[in-house]
Amino acid sequence: MEGPMFRRLTPIRVLTFALAALTLLALCTPVEAGPPRARLSRDLADHLSSGGTAPVRVIVRGSRETVAALAARHGATPKRWLGTAGVLEVTPEQLQALADDPEVISLSGDVPVHPTMAVTNQAIGTELLQMVGAAEKGLTGRGVGIAVVDSGIAPVPSIRERVVASVDFTGGAGEDAFGHGTHVAGIIAAAADDTLPVVTERYQGVAPGAHLVNLRVLDGEGAGRVSDVIRAVEWAVANRRRYGIRVINLSLGHPVFESAADDPLCEAVERAVAAGMVVVAAAGNLGKTADGTPVIGGIESPGNSPYAITVGALNTKQTGVRSDDVVATYSSRGPTAYDFTLKPDLVAPGNRIVSLEAPGSMLAVNYGGQHVAGSGDRSYFQLSGTSMSTAVVSGAVALLLEANPRLEPLKVKGALQLGASFLPEAGLIGAGAGSLNVAASVQVATQGPNALEPVLIAGEEVTPDGVMFWRADSDADASRIIWGDRIIWGDRIIWG
């Protein structure tokens, strides 16, 4: 197994979560029903062991011919075909038979996915651009395509000219009946709205020059299936040259039920990165329980993929300065379940973010109290969550790719991490390399890591800390990685 290394580790306060991590290890031990030959994701194993009778959808890896033959052999019903797998509907008896079939290596559930937001006033506009260090670089993301895999994008004036293609994997026409996708798209690339009153801040996205591809996978209630997300990612890869898609935004996820190596969505992310695309994924909003108890290891899929840029949420406390920023309490912490990959990779503003409102959508109708400005198709409302911070980073990636179009996905990730400002209170499992600093990351992207210098953000001098994780060669000694200034972890921690 590849070992972990990092370029420079600044002094860190002790991370006192050893007992929590050990508890996580116990919780992540797969539950098996009977002696199946195939590896089962935890949701499927739980379904068998519980004695449930309802049919379930499973993702079976293999060619269409192979999966069709397995379906015929065991009486399963094919539901859809993916690039490297098929989705079958099976009874518990058929699931057990598939698990016992020597031709089946692993089975994963076609589980529900959800947006990683919370209905909760930090504006996307001049102030936020200043916060992330993007206001004075003269970059807009021009020429960079971003696939927004979400609930659709409403054709509102501030964003419709940025959308160059739409594909609806739910059977509709790409409209946003839920409202989440439009909000995310606005954070990424909305144009400034000159119709708002002078006293109201004009809202714009991080990369208003980027163009968007609308890939709808969530319905009007914000629900979807992981197989539709996989189909959307595969479509983006297949059409990346036609539409100039360089980035895939995944502000959604599901709980981790298996290792990233067996997770079909993580596999799709890996293939996208191998094709030269940057995949930005939400860490999830599982940072605490309902009673406020902190949770360790709550990163969701596909944020658990070592190939994704996984983003946690920063609470800026509605100020322009960096010195009072903290990681939002709901933002999921690492390490990842099963694999113990160090995540998130970094954090970005995600609390009370104001962006586009989709008129008539479920969120607009049922959460009118979140409306903050405008009316009709020029309305704005606020949401919180790692969905929002993920969109901020996708916009930032577009700026980096405009500054240096030759950047490969792992170099984009490295530039973001090296330019980030470390947050010692949150530590590596809470904030990764630290808070997004676009100005410093552009320095890295265009001049190399030795060009890092302090930058001014909202009048404060902000120093990039130059922390980066990567998968290293086998000569790295995992036992020498020090967490905090006391705890030394063994080789259970993998750096994504």
- The span from the CA of 135 to the CA of 140, in Å, is 10
Q: Please, which residues have CB within 8 angstroms of residue 242's CB and are 6 or more apart in sequence?
A: none
Counting every residue written for the chain, the total comes to 496
Catalytic annotation present for 387? yes
Catalytic annotation present for 180? yes
Side-chain half-sphere of 251: how many Cα atoms within 13 Å?
A: 37
Give strand pairing partners of 311: 282, 346
Closest CA to 404 of 375, 457, 352, 444: 444
Angle, alpha carbons 200-204-210 (nearest 5°): 170
- The span from the CA of 248 to the CA of 403, in Å, is 18
Whether the CA torsion 415, 325, 11, 346 is positive or negative: it is: negative
Are 203 and 89 in contact, with CB atoms under 8 Å apart?
no
Neighbours of 122 (CB within 10 A): 23
Q: Which of 166, 387, 389, 394 is catalytic?
A: 387
Distances (CA, A) of 188 to 208, 364, 439: 7, 19, 17
Per-residue tokens: 469: 């994780």
Instruction: Report long-range pairs for 233-238 (Cβ below 8 Å, ≥24 apart).
Output: 233/149, 233/265, 233/268, 233/269, 233/271, 233/272, 233/279, 234/82, 234/83, 234/268, 234/271, 235/167, 236/147, 236/149, 236/272, 236/277, 237/271, 237/272, 237/275, 237/277
Catalytic annotation present for 371? no
Longest C-alpha distance within the chain, in Å?
68
Q: Which of 180, 183, 211, 254 is catalytic?
A: 180
Determine the 3-state secondary structure of 67 from DSSP: helix
Q: Which of 43, 47, 108, 150 is catalytic?
A: 150
| Catalytically annotated residues | 150, 180, 387
